Amino acid sequence: MRKPFVAGNWKMNLDLAGARSLVAGIVEGLGGSSKIDVAICPPSIYLFPMAKAIVESTVAMGAQNCWSAPSGAFTGEVSAAMVKETGCRYVILGHSERRNTIGPRDSNGNIAGESNDMIAAKVRAVFDNEMIPIVCVGETLAQRDANETESVLTSQLAGSLASVKAEEASKLVVAYEPVWAIGTGRTATSAQAQAAHAHIRGQLVERFGADVANAIRIQYGGSVKPDNARELMSCPDVDGALVGGASLKPADFVGIINETIQAKDL
C-alpha cells in the first residue's frame, strides 16, 4: 500500500507573517492526523522559520529547488546539504516553471530552462543528502494536442531519473503536472490523470521492476482544489497531490487532504 502524499508548493508567495499564519492554520486543521503524508514547500528563505513552526506537528517540509553541486561559486543558489540543514525531508525538482519558464531566452525567444540532465544531477544531490526528490514531469498543451503526452513523459522520466539507484528508487516521488493545468483552473479529467499516471508507472516498472515501481508515489498536480480532489485522488495510480494555489489557504489545503483521505478510504 502506498501512503498518499499531499504537498503544498507555495511558489514565490506570502510574506513571513502570512507564511506563519498559513502553517498555524494547516497544523490546527490537521489536528495531528497522520493518515497520509503532508508537506509544505515554502520559498527557501522561509525554510528555517517554517521548520520551527512545524515542530511537533505531522507536517513535513520540502524545498522548491536546490543546486546539484555540493558547494562553490554558484551565486544565488543553495545546495542540497544547506536545504537538508533546514530540516527538509523533500525537494521539488524539475517543476515546469523551472523547465519551461525560468532561464535565458535565445534569439528566437525560446527559454533554455532546466534540462533533464540538470534535474538528474539535482536528484543525485538530494538522495546523497538523505532527502527525497519530488520529480515533476508533464506535457504542454501543444504536446498533448500533438499526441505527444506519452513520449514527453517517457523522455522526461528517462532523463530526469537517470541518476537514481535501484536501492533508493522506492522512496522517490514523481509528480505528474500537465503544464496546461497549472494555475489555469483547468484540471485534467480523472481519466486523463489515470492514463498519464499508468503510463508513468509503466515506465517505472521497466526501469526499476514491478515491486519498486508499485511502491513509488505519483502525485497529480494542476489546479487541484477541494471540490475536484476526491475524483482525482480516487484514481488507482494517483497517490496524492502537489498543490499550488490552493495550498496557500489553510481551509483549501486541509480540505484537499481530507478529500484524499476519503478517496483512499483511510
Q: Which residues bind ligand PGA (CB under 6 A)?
A: 9, 177, 182-183, 221-224, 242-246
Phi, psi of 12 (to 5 degrees): -100, 65
Give the residue among 125, 126, 93, 97 at the shortest CA–CA distance from 113. 97
Residue nearest to ligand PGA (CB): 244
Sign of CA dihedral 143, 115, 248, 31: positive
Alpha carbons 125 and 69: distance in angstroms, whole number: 7
Taking the least distance from each CB to ligand PGA, the nearer of 156 and 212 is: 156
Q: How far is the CB of 223 from ligand PGA (least distance, A)?
A: 4
Taking the least distance from each CB to ligand PGA, the nearer of 94 and 221 is: 221
Answer for the pair 85, 110: CB distance below 8 angstroms, yes or no.
Answer: no
Taking the least distance from each CB to ligand PGA, the nearer of 114 and 208 is: 114
Does 130 participate in catalysis according to the annotation? no
Give the residue among 36, 39, 35, 32 at the shortest CA–CA distance from 89. 39
Taking the least distance from each CB to ligand PGA, the nearer of 208 and 258 is: 258
Q: How far is the CB of 177 from ligand PGA (least distance, A)?
A: 6
Does 95 participate in catalysis according to the annotation? yes
Q: How far is the CB of 185 from ligand PGA (least distance, A)?
A: 8
Catalytic residue of the set 97, 114, 139, 177: 177
Q: Which three cell numbers stand for residue 248?
A: 496557500
Q: How far is the CB of 259 from ligand PGA (least distance, A)?
A: 14
Answer for the pair 223, 182: CB distance below 8 angstroms, yes or no.
Answer: yes
Q: How far is the CB of 41 from ligand PGA (least distance, A)?
A: 9
Taking the least distance from each CB to ligand PGA, the nearer of 93 and 212 is: 93
The residues that are catalytic are: 95, 177
